[in-house]
């Protein structure tokens, strides 16, 4: 039996999800919340298998609730509900560790499938959102558009695991110039200052650097 708690600040949507869970034989609805703070408290107390949260709620967003509780080591798995096909929302949710992402246009069958998938440890993303993400992924990371041709060439060499000195020799420029380019590229790609962050990014996105 999968225990489920849902949270939404829209009463009709909240009731609709609650009724759907109650009518599903292998699921147990254990409560609901009307805002982020209430959801945080109830999930912490009840420890449901699944928490289905609206992203945009008063006091705390669904994403903030999920992030805070997961940092506490809670076993509950989270599904976020949203009205919008917003890739940035989705990417933030995935970074936090949210396993389910549904649009509010989802059918009842999709909602049930998502809950069962996430409860079994499998990620689930609304199919129409997946289609959008695949389309965007075929274009490569948007940050690459910010780079000059010279910077892209340097990034290609970084992806091939070339050192600063090796890149300098290959491009007939000084190592200091290469270092300056690396700094500029990191800023344009919004990378933090962690060691090897640029090399890791380049190697992970090598297919877009051809």
Task: Give the least confident one: 21-30, 139-148, 159-168.
Answer: 139-148
Residue 147 and residue 132 share a domain: no
Residue 196 and residue 150 share a domain: yes
pTM (two decimals): 0.62
User: What are the residue ranges of helices labelled H in the chain?
Assistant: 11-22, 36-46, 62-71, 87-96, 108-119, 127-137, 149-159, 164-171, 175-188, 197-204
pLDDT at 131 (0 to 100) = 53
pLDDT at 139 (0 to 100) = 52
CB 7 within 8 Å of CB 35: yes
CA 21 – CA 125 distance, rounded (Å): 19
Higher per-residue pLDDT: 204 or 173: 173
For 186, the domain range is 142-208
Average pLDDT, rounded, for the chain: 86
Residue 115 and residue 181 share a domain: no
Higher per-residue pLDDT: 168 or 143: 168
Higher per-residue pLDDT: 207 or 168: 168
CA 182 – CA 162 distance, rounded (Å): 12
At residue 138 the predicted structure's pLDDT band, cuts being 50, 70 and 90, is very low
CATH number at residue 52: 3.40.50.2300
What are the tens digits of pLDDT across the range 81-133? 887 666 667 777 777 788 888 888 889 999 999 999 999 988 888 776 655 55
CATH number at residue 159: 1.10.10.10
pLDDT at 129 (0 to 100) = 67
Lay out the sheet containing 27-33: strands in order across. Answer: 27-33, 2-7, 50-54, 77-82, 100-103, 124-125
């Amino acid at each position: 039996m999968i225990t489920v708690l849902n949270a939404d600040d829209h009463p009709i949507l909240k009731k609709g999800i609650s009724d759907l869970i109650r009518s599903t034989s292998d699921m147990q609805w254990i409560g609901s919340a009307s805002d982020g703070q209430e959801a945080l408290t109830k999930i912490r107390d009840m420890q449901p298998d699944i928490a289905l949260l609206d992203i945009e709620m008063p006091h705390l967003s669904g994403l903030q609730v999920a992030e805070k509780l997961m940092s506490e080591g809670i076993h509950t798995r989270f599904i976020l509900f949203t009205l919008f096909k917003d890739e940035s929302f989705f990417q933030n949710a995935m970074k936090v560790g949210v396993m389910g992402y549904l649009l509010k246009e989802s059918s009842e069958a999709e909602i049930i499938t998502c809950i069962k998938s996430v409860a079994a440890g499998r990620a689930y993303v609304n199919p129409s959102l997946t289609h959008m993400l695949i389309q965007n992924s075929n274009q490569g990371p948007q940050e690459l558009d910010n780079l000059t041709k010279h910077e892209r060439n340097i990034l290609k060499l970084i992806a091939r695991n070339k050192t600063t000195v090796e890149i300098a020799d290959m491009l007939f420029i000084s190592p200091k110039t290469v270092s300056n380019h690396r700094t500029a590229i990191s800023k344009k790609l919004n990378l933090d200052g962690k060691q090897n962050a640029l090399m890791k990014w380049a190697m992970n996105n090598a297919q877009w650097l051809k």
